[in-house]
Structure 1
Amino acid sequence: MNDLRTIRLGIEAMRGGRSTEGNGDGNGDAAPSGDSNVAWWPHYDRRIFDALYAAYNHVAGPDHDYMSNIEPLREAPIPSASMSDLSTWFTYLMRGDRFDDGLIAAYIEDGRLLQMFERLVEVADPGSGSGR
């Protein structure tokens, strides 16, 4: 499947409703058994994770210096991001979520990941519209 099509499917999934759920009781703090010693972690809609993987690995590409580059971007507006900025953000999410369960979920829940996907489609395929 075309990488931009995969990203567009992720956009549709995010607009369609719930995109994350946990392994716990819905409150994010316990396993179904009620055992509060069991860690919670999010599960992502497969279409969203596939879109994130396509964005990071194929469209924006990884930023090998993302730790230095992310700081100036933290407060930057996503709708005006360059391809280089998007590369930094996607790398930060993919690598950061390995050490901070829920980082991607936070970006989904506050709308930043949707903005990143939409901007990536705009930058990568300017003639197609934003995917909105």
Structure 2
Amino acid sequence: LQALQYLAYGIMLISGISIFIALYNTLKERKYEFALLRVNGATRFQLLYLVVIESLILCVLGYLSGTIVGRVALLFISGSSEEEFKMAFNPFEFVWEKEGFLFLLTIFVGVLAAVIPAVKAYKLNISKTLANA
């Protein structure tokens, strides 16, 4: 059971890195859009906020989809484990303490993954970006 927890933490670390890479690549692709947003009146903080919110949306959607897929998998495993091992458990029972911690950890990983891309968006040089378009 302890090994599964470490595996889950490793998966969260890898997903945080992949979210960082996705946001960083998106920033490189969308830097012209960000420059145009700045020209049209968006502040640096609004761009920073946009990148962080995008990261949080990705993380929350990942958390929700992972929870749903996990519960469905537990539903199937529950049936077979009850027959074979005489162990029954409810796959829809939430352990609020652990799941709340997992949700907060997901939010933390999302914010952490967004820090560097958000700062890059904040420091975007409008004139150089649009001159190279």
- Pick the TM interval, shorter chain: under 0.3
TM-score by length of 1: 0.27
Tell which structure's C-alpha radius of gyration is larger.
2
Higher helix share: 2
